Amino acid sequence: MTRLNPDDLALYLVTDRALCGERGVTAVVDAAVAGGVRIVQLRDKDADDAEIVAQLIELSAVIAGRALLVVDDRLEALIEARRRGARVDGIHLGQSDASVAVARSLLGPDAIIGLTANTPGHRDAVRALPAGTVDYLGVGVIHPTATKPDHPPVLGVDGFAAFTAASSLPCVAIGGVGRDDVAALRRAGAAGVAVVSALCSATDPRIAARKLLREWGSGGTPRVLSIAGSDPSGGAGIQADLKSIAANGGYGMAAITALTVQNTRGVSGVHVPPAEFLRAQLDALSEDVRIDAVKIGMLAGAAVIAEVGSWLTAHRPATVVLDPVMVATSGDRLLDADAEQALRALLSLADLITPNLPELAVLVHEDQATTWPAALAQARGLSAATGALVLVKGGHLGGDEAPDALVGPAGVLREYPGARIRTRSTHGTGCSLSSGLAARRAAGHDWFAAVAEVRAWLRESIAAGAALQVGSGHGPVSHFAGLWQRGGLTVARPADDVAAEWWDHIAPVRRAIDELPFLRRLADGTLPEAAFRGYLAQDAVYLRAYARTLAEAARLAPRSAEQGFWARSAEQSVLGELQLHESLLSPGESAADPSPVTTAYLDHLRGTAFDGDYGVLIAALLPCFWIYADVGARLHAEAGGDSSHPFAPWIEEYADPVFAAANREAIRIVSAHAAAADEETRTRMRVAFVRSAEHERAFFAAADLGG
């Protein structure tokens, strides 16, 4: 039965009274432990036993269980300090100090006993001892140190690696270890690094400890534990977390808090296994694995929260990210209402909390923020109340932006603006974000860098989500889209998704068009003839200019097939549509002046053409195809192909299969271009498309029905 957790040795402070200076050893230990030191060795070769006992009592009080306390060499002082109520966890002995076997027999099986080992001979001698006599080896020296001129032979990092490879015990590297060595020593197999001057001489030992631990974290693949619920559809919960951790460079582990019955449409059942069983999983992990970061997701209820809280208090890793999951994307509850209070108590154990807007509101007892500044103010309140940083997510804001912000107790630290990606593939975005952050942070990046990197990865994964074609509800993101693309496993996003996304996005505009009295009455044949002619006159004006912008698209087209398509479309709108219009109008009518609404639409098209970006121009041209083909097909279905319908020629023009084919080809060309374009161009294309759709609506709406 070992008393050491795998994390405990990571950063090992050995005290030096002279280096601590006037502020004293106790103050340095207090600060270093606050910075993450998990084991402190009191070493004072000059003090007598009475002084050592007094110092142990004082240190034990100030450490207060936050770290382990051991003493160098002084077995009797240790026993006396314990007798007087101090918590001293063990002893570190040198080759010439009291025998480790004696110490073990006096201190019992629960004490921590470390032994200095400077040569392979020292290491191999330990094998002769009964198992469990020694818990770890202090191995050095790594570099020559001025503070110990009579030091044993220098191992260097390579010598340390060779030494530790042949050791059956955890090895702590000691002797001249500075910040620059930490990552290399971890890669060399160190269980931890022992430092003296790097902490005792530091201006602020707390900050110095954090920096050392960050170096330690960057020394290998971070081991990241997700404590969360299971989503069998693989888009959220631990399934998403494991993918996200892997995609962000970590090794993922998962302890399951609850099982959900879930697909992309929603959650229809939750089963919560006994909380003690979760605790057993957590204990099994922390006994065996050095955990660099924990991400906490769905907690289901108060009993689970209590177990996670108690485990975290005892085994808190360097990084804790808490995603206060309450409600799924689908709207289903994932946390009992009566557990919200318990969740609040857990928040102060986190380094970072990642609420969405509804969760943030619950946590600060306010109504949901409807503006971004209001959300930032709530986040600041939450940070001040918990001491944790808050990453507030604007995903639920609505509108064209999806900003996030990192907020501390004094206010916003950094904002991360971003255009909203038009997609339904947002299932599990919150899970993926928080676990990715835990992995990046544990790899040694600061929070600013971690957020920027995870966001860039997540946006790429959200954009590629639809291509997975998983489910009919809110689909998952594609966690490895970037990797697949770079590995040649996917070419680009499937083209059809792009325009389909835009088409979904303009659904409200399309609904508004369908409800316009002009089209309703055109469909049922009750539209006054004059109103129809007024509309057609404006449309003729429009078509002449539209044909010229189609010709401009032909001029800009990068490939001859597309050049031909736009040129044929220009010809068709002059020879087909315009001829139809002119056949129905008098010469005077078809020479009408453009109305303000017509002018506005044409200005948009001509302005876009003038800017000269082919992609943006063809996106602006597309709604005129698509909306007319869509309206035409549905009017044709309503009018039932009745040739006596007063507006039959107009309806048939747009319901014509030839026009439908041209529309499909236009969609294909625009989508392919958008799929291959960079994000910024794709966004400008979408904006141009949406704007044209708006002009289409206004154009129909402007038709004067004549009372």
190 interface partner picked from ligand ATP, Mg ion, ligand HMH, none, CB below 5 to 8 A per type = none
Footprint on this chain of ligand HMH (rule: CB under 6 A): 228-231, 236-237, 260, 262, 297-298, 325, 328-329, 334, 428, 430-431
191 interface partner picked from ligand ATP, Mg ion, ligand HMH, none, CB below 5 to 8 A per type = none
430 among known catalytic residues: yes
Ordered DSSP codes for 572-633: HIIIIIIHHHHHHS-HHHHTPPPPHHHHHHHHHHHHHHHHT-HHHHHHHHHHHHHHHHHHHH
Q: Is 72 annotated as a binding residue?
A: yes
Closer residue to ligand HMH in complex, CB, 116/230:
230
Tokens representing residue 612 in the block: 């000269």
Q: Which of 175, 234, 393, 632 is catalytic?
A: 393
In whole angstroms, the minimum distance from the beta carbon of 417 to ligand HMH comes to: 23
State which H helix or E strand residue 112 sits in: strand 112-117
Taking phi over 0 as left and psi of -120 to 50 as alpha, with beta for the rest, 673 belongs to: alpha
140 among known catalytic residues: no
What is the maximum alpha-carbon separation in the chain? 115
394 interface partner picked from ligand ATP, ligand HMH, Mg ion, none, CB below 5 to 8 A per type = ligand ATP
Find the part of the chain contacting Mg ion (CB under 5 A) among 37-45, 400-408, 427-435, 474-482.
427-435
Closer residue to ligand HMH in complex, CB, 34/259:
259
In whole angstroms, the minimum distance from the beta carbon of 240 to Mg ion comes to: 10
Find the part of the chain contacting Mg ion (CB under 5 A) among 32-40, 424-432, 513-521, 526-534.
424-432
173 interface partner picked from ligand ATP, Mg ion, ligand HMH, none, CB below 5 to 8 A per type = none
229 interface partner picked from ligand HMH, ligand ATP, Mg ion, none, CB below 5 to 8 A per type = ligand HMH
Q: Which of 319, 426, 598, 683 is catalytic?
A: 426
Closer residue to Mg ion in complex, CB, 93/326:
326
Q: Which residues pair with 253 in a beta bridge?
A: 225
CB proximity list for 146: less than 8 A, separation 6 or greater: none
Q: Which of 164, 329, 423, 429 is catalytic?
A: 429
In whole angstroms, the minimum distance from the beta carbon of 438 to Mg ion comes to: 14
CA distance 387 to 407: 11
In whole angstroms, the minimum distance from the beta carbon of 431 to ligand HMH comes to: 5
In whole angstroms, the minimum distance from the beta carbon of 458 to ligand HMH comes to: 14
Closer residue to ligand HMH in complex, CB, 88/320:
320
Q: Is 97 annotated as a binding residue?
A: yes
Closer residue to ligand ATP in complex, CB, 336/652:
336
Q: Is 219 annotated as a binding residue?
A: no
CA angle 265, 268, 471 (to 5 degrees): 25
CB proximity list for 108: less than 8 A, separation 6 or greater: none
Cβ count within 10 A of residue 110 = 10
Taking CB under 5 A as the criterion, the residue among 222, 234, 430, 615 binding Mg ion is 430
- The β-bridge relationship of strands 223-230 and 192-195 is unpaired
Q: Is 42 annotated as a binding residue?
A: yes
Binding status of residue 297 toward Mg ion by CB under 5 A: no
In whole angstroms, the minimum distance from the beta carbon of 658 to ligand ATP comes to: 37
CA distance 580 to 336: 64
Footprint on this chain of ligand ATP (rule: CB under 6 A): 236, 329, 356, 393-396, 402, 404, 418, 420-421, 423, 426, 428-431, 433, 455, 458-459, 462
In whole angstroms, the minimum distance from the beta carbon of 335 to Mg ion comes to: 11
Tokens representing residue 528 in the block: 């006054």
Per rule CB under 5 A, count of chain residues that contact Mg ion: 1
Q: Is 188 annotated as a binding residue?
A: no
CA distance 671 to 173: 58
CA distance 316 to 534: 74
What is the four-CA torsion angle of 302, 307, 308, 311, rounded to 10 degrees?
160
231 interface partner picked from ligand HMH, ligand ATP, Mg ion, none, CB below 5 to 8 A per type = ligand HMH
**Three-state secondary structure call for residue 294:** strand
> What are the distances in angstroms from CA 236 to CA 51, 454, 548?
57, 16, 49
CA distance 115 to 133: 10
Long-range CB contacts (within 8 A, 24+) of 603-611:
604/688, 604/691, 604/692, 604/695, 605/545, 605/546, 605/549, 605/692, 606/545, 606/549, 608/549, 608/688, 609/549, 609/552, 609/553
690 interface partner picked from Mg ion, ligand ATP, ligand HMH, none, CB below 5 to 8 A per type = none
167 interface partner picked from ligand ATP, ligand HMH, Mg ion, none, CB below 5 to 8 A per type = none
In whole angstroms, the minimum distance from the beta carbon of 383 to Mg ion comes to: 18
Closer residue to ligand ATP in complex, CB, 426/598:
426
Residues 477 and 426: beta-carbon distance below 8 Å: yes
CA distance 190 to 215: 13
Q: Is 146 annotated as a binding residue?
A: yes
429 among known catalytic residues: yes
Closer residue to ligand HMH in complex, CB, 263/549:
263
Radius of gyration over every alpha carbon of the chain, rounded to an integer in angstroms: 35
Closer residue to ligand ATP in complex, CB, 378/595:
378
CA distance 193 to 339: 41
Q: Is 176 annotated as a binding residue?
A: yes
431 among known catalytic residues: yes
Return the active site residues: 393, 426, 428-431
Annotated binding site: 41-45, 72-73, 97, 116, 145-148, 176, 196-197
Annotated binding site for Mg(2+): 73, 97
